């Protein structure tokens, strides 16, 4: 499996644990991963999630996401505000939008970081240029503040 063939492509990654993640991915060389993360192995990265070659069971190119959100968004949300912020600050508007949809469907699970989420949404509304991300951010902000 040549991971560099999947650079800057929409993929479905199945891990050796049979977890399935979808997203726009980027290839990280062995040298890059060793320098940045101390791991001497190439990987694929979707937003802030890194999948090392030894953890990947299968990678396939896809034309579209299989659902409105998936395991990547679920795990981002469950990881807390730091990972959510990392996704929101990424260049991937589609991933921001998918995470917003996940949060909207799980709004009562926001728990202790409601105020931080309000701040993140206001920042995204102010600085993002993607209309659907802005619209969904405003909708979610209104739901959280009500």
Rounded to the nearest integer, the mean pLDDT of the chain is 96
What residue spans define the domains of the chain? 3-61, 71-145
Structure token digits, residue 24: 């726009």
State the average pLDDT over residues 78-85: 95
Write down the pLDDT at residue 125.
95
Domain at 3-61: CATH architecture:
Roll (2.30)
Query: Do the Cβ atoms of 141 and 122 come closer than 8 Å?
Result: yes
Write down the pLDDT at residue 1.
85
For 93-117, write each residue's pLDDT tens digit: 999 999 999 999 999 898 778 999 9
42: region left, alpha or beta (phi > 0 left; psi from -120 to 50 alpha): beta
Lowest mean pLDDT among 68-72, 106-110, 127-131: 106-110
What is the Rg, in whole angstroms, of the alpha carbon atoms belonging to the chain? 16
Separation of alpha carbons 114 and 138, rounded Å: 15
State the average pLDDT over residues 38-58: 97
Structure token digits, residue 60: 């396939």
Which residues touch 68 (CB under 8 Å, ≥6 apart)?
Answer: 98, 101
Write down the pLDDT at residue 102.
98
What's the pTM?
0.94
Separation of alpha carbons 98 and 117, rounded Å: 16
Write down the pLDDT at residue 20.
98
Write down the pLDDT at residue 103.
96
Structure token digits, residue 128: 């993002």
């Amino acid at each position: 499996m040549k991971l560099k063939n999947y650079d800057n492509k929409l993929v479905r990654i199945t891990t050796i644990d049979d977890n399935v993640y979808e997203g726009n991915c980027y290839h990280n060389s062995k040298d890059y991963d060793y320098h940045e993360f101390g791991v001497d192995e190439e990987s694929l990265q979707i937003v802030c999630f890194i999948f090392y070659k030894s953890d990947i069971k299968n990678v396939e190119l896809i034309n579209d996401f299989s659902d409105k959100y998936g395991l990547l968004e679920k795990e981002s949300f469950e990881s807390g505000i730091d990972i959510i912020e990392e996704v929101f600050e990424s260049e991937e508007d589609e991933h921001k939008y998918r995470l917003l949809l996940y949060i909207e469907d799980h709004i009562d699970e926001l728990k202790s970081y409601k105020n931080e989420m309000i701040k993140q949404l206001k920042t995204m509304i102010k600085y993002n240029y993607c209309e659907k991300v802005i619209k969904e951010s405003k909708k979610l902000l209104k739901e959280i503040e009500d």
